[in-house]
A = this chain, B = another copy of it.
Amino acid sequence: MSKSESAPFAYDGLDRVIHEKARLGVLTSLMAHPKGLAFGDLKQLCGLTDGNLSRHLQVLQEAGFVEIIKGYEGNRPHTSCRLSASGRRRFLDYLGVLEQLVRDAAKAAGKDAPDTELKILPT
């Protein structure tokens, strides 16, 4: 018997690096901007302070989810970041587990399950 059969509500696929609330926002923002985002724009989209965003980006970079590009815009330092290919893939895996959790809970709550699926699968 596999773990998912014996412990159907364990949700082992919920990677802790991704699951942290602020990092979920960062990854979703970067997913929406595949060419990358300037540090300041990302900060605003996620409602984070400079310090918090820096800390979370470091965790995501060390785990290989994002690439941070430090350069110049004119004479001023300019930092931007983007999702890596493997980061995108792993985030999609995570979203598939999250989608399953929402379905399980909706079913448990006696709500109608949707007719169609979001079809979040690794590409």
Give me the interface of A with B, judged by CB distance under 8 Å: 3, 6-12, 14, 16, 19, 21, 24-29, 31-32, 44-48, 88, 91-92, 95, 98-99, 101-109, 111-120
Chain B contacts of A27 at CB under 8 A?
105
Chain B contacts of A101 at CB under 8 A?
24, 28, 98
Question: Closest residue to A88 on the B side, CB-wise?
Answer: B109
Q: How far is the CB of A25 from chain B (nearest CB, A)?
A: 4
Chain B contacts of A48 at CB under 8 A?
10
Structural contact, B95 and A102, CB atoms closer than 8 A = yes
Structural contact, A21 and B16, CB atoms closer than 8 A = yes
Q: Could you name 22 residue pairs across A and B whose Cβ atoms are closer than 8 Å? A: A3-B47, A6-B44, A7-B47, A9-B28, A9-B45, A9-B47, A14-B21, A24-B101, A31-B105, A31-B108, A31-B109, A32-B107, A32-B108, A88-B109, A91-B105, A95-B106, A98-B101, A103-B118, A106-B118, A111-B119, A112-B118, A114-B114
